[in-house]
Amino acid sequence: MTEQTGTIPVYLLSGFLGSGKTTLLKRWLETAEQAGLRPAVIMNELGEVNLDGIQIGEEVRMAEMLGGCICCTVRGDLGLEMMKLVDESRPDLLLIESTGAANPLEIIDAVGDASMLKQVELKQVVTVVDAVHLHGQAEKGKGQTYRLMKEQIRCATVLLLNKVDNMSEAQADELETLLREWNSFAPIYRTVEAQIDIDMLEHGGQGQPIGQAERHQAEEACGCGRKDPHTHEEHAHHSHAHVMAYTRYFDEAIDSERFEAMMGRLPDDIYRAKGILSFTDTSSRFMFQYAYKQLDLMKINPQGEVPDVAVFIGEHFDKAWLEDELKKLTEPPYS
């Protein structure tokens, strides 16, 4: 783990929605705590509730930026939040988890601005890639999500090819070749549940901080407003404007079977969902995580007052359909 040298190292966790950033963040925090270090975290969520933050211990100093994406709508706040955290808690390291829709270059710039005022230094941009999702996107080979994933990969100084448990070795080999084509300098680690030696991430396998050359290369590759060298198209400034989030609060417990059946009916354009729910058939509360058709439910006992809530994220999906489905969850049982 990083030794304290006066400058606070900053690590940016990037990667498309549901790729495993929070899973990695939890590991990183555990490792830091075992090493006796005091980490601080900035979390950014598209939805109105910090569901990722609930998974982090209360002892970790955390700033939340909710209801917008760190790289645009709330970008101005990032520098302020970072400086406040540094002044208030003087952490040994700072981890920033962006929304899965963020363009990392914008955040890299914001950290760069802050480093002129405070002793913070961006050390690594770790992009977590959902192997299965990328595989599907690469087969299509086009679209805004594909382009955004490519940008996140190009801006990385370290790449985790995560969720390789869901694919064959040969498919993972193919993806690694693709990652290498898009990003020739970042070390690539294949992972399951983001299991990796954190030291390898902190030092990018080479002990190199982000240098001018890499930064320049990343800017060339994904700079907003710059022309793509191959297509000569301008990159959209907010390449994730197509991603939308829908938040629904519940005042009462819902039927677990109906909920699971509804999740099974979600259309492809709702690819990510998460939330905390109470079910009528058990007294425990549950956190659910849904990413690209995979639904996980975990018992949870959140500290403080946390409402029952579900957040759905996707592209141009039919909100009316979703509202109708959610309404059915709280209706009396059908005869």
Ligand X SMILES: Nc1nc2c(ncn2[C@@H]2O[C@H](COP(=O)(O)OP(=O)(O)OP(=O)(O)O)[C@@H](O)[C@H]2O)c(=O)[nH]1
Q: Which amino acid is at 5?
A: T
Count of CA atoms in the C-beta half-sphere (13 A) of 149? 27
Least distance to ligand X, CB of residue 134, Å: 13
Tokens of 178: 């693709």
In the set 8, 12, 15, 155, which binds ligand X (CB under 6 A)? 15
DSSP 167-197: S-HHHHHHHHHHHHHH-SSS-EEE-STT---
Least distance to ligand X, CB of residue 148, Å: 12
Binding mask 71-100 for ligand X (x = CB under 6 A): -----------------------------x
In the set 9, 10, 14, 22, which binds ligand X (CB under 6 A)? 22
Tokens of 166: 């869901």
14 binds ligand X per the rule CB under 6 A: no
Q: Which amino acid is at 271?
A: Y
Least distance to ligand X, CB of residue 17, Å: 4
**How far is the C-alpha of 65 from the C-alpha of 303, rounded, in Å?**
19
Angle between the 75-89 and 104-115 helix axes, to the nearest 10 degrees? Answer: 50
Residues pairing with 295 in the sheet: 290
Stretch that binds ligand X, among 15-23, 218-226, 232-240, 327-335 (CB under 6 A): 15-23
* Binders of ligand X in range 150-169 (CB under 6 A): 162-163, 165-166
Binding mask 199-228 for ligand X (x = CB under 6 A): ------------------------------
272 binds ligand X per the rule CB under 6 A: yes
127 binds ligand X per the rule CB under 6 A: no
Check if the beta carbon of residue 188 is closer than 8 Å to that of residue 179: yes
